[in-house]
Structure 1
Amino acid sequence: MIQGVEIKKLVRHSDDRGFFMEILRDDDKLLKNFGQASLSKSYPGVIKAFHYHKKQDDIWFFPAGNAQVVLYDVREESPTKGETNVFYLGEDNPQILLIPVGVAHGYRVLGSSPAIIVYFTSQSYDPADPDEYRIPWDDSEINFDWSTKNR
């Protein structure tokens, strides 16, 4: 796994009324600092990739829908530089994913329903100095094949 990436499996407590599930706790020790919580909706088949940050860590959670999440380590000093990790997150696999500074990340919505992502960052977004660096979804260095592999 890419150095610094962590995944936490979430536990649902279900009964006849529905369910309860904790997402992120301060004693998880995943974020160095709380900056912001945000929510986004993406439609089926949408690819949102790639970007990375130089100052902030992200934690991603997909409470609705499902997504193929792709990470690529762009950190020069990292022992896992150039490594790619793929995770399948969403309502069928409730987990949170810690994405450290310098790891490019993106996702593709799977299935026929939109995906909702809730994400937490270690810094608040600053429109005057955005900590977001873009890489095309089809970057030749990352060379990730986003197509579904029918088996």
Structure 2
Amino acid sequence: MNTVVMAIDHHNNLSATIGQLTLQEALLRNASVVVLCCLPTEGGVEGEVMNIECAIDQVAEQYGQPKDPLNCAENAVRAALVPFQQSGIPARGLLCRGEPAAVIVEQANKLSASMIIMGRRHLSPFNRLFKGSVSAEVLETASCPVLIDLRAGLSDS
């Protein structure tokens, strides 16, 4: 079975268009979906942090969760899984630590992904030079097609 990787950023709200694009591609390709979220390296620890098999727990969401980066990322991934599980598409989440572009490409390679779908931040020229562009680096280094939703992401000027 084909696998489509949907890369999300725990800092931004999930773009509805990225979810819809991924859903359409998964249906067209008869593919499973892996929702990947990368966290910054902490204490020198890189690599896989957590596999997530189920969508968001509505009861836990109602009572709130601590807002540390790992919890925020887990909640973002669980919320992103909802439309796939509702549509009957096999989907799971994956949280990793490391440099986002490298992790996205590495995980896509491990999964033999048929496509990576992601958004991009709309960085100012200064921030693009200072921070670099994750989407541009993924586009340049991935061994599978990369679909970048230019409408997604928040402005980081």
Q: Is the pair's TM-score, using the shorter chain for normalization, greater than 0.5? A: no
TM-score (norm 2): 0.24
- Greater helix percent: which structure? 2
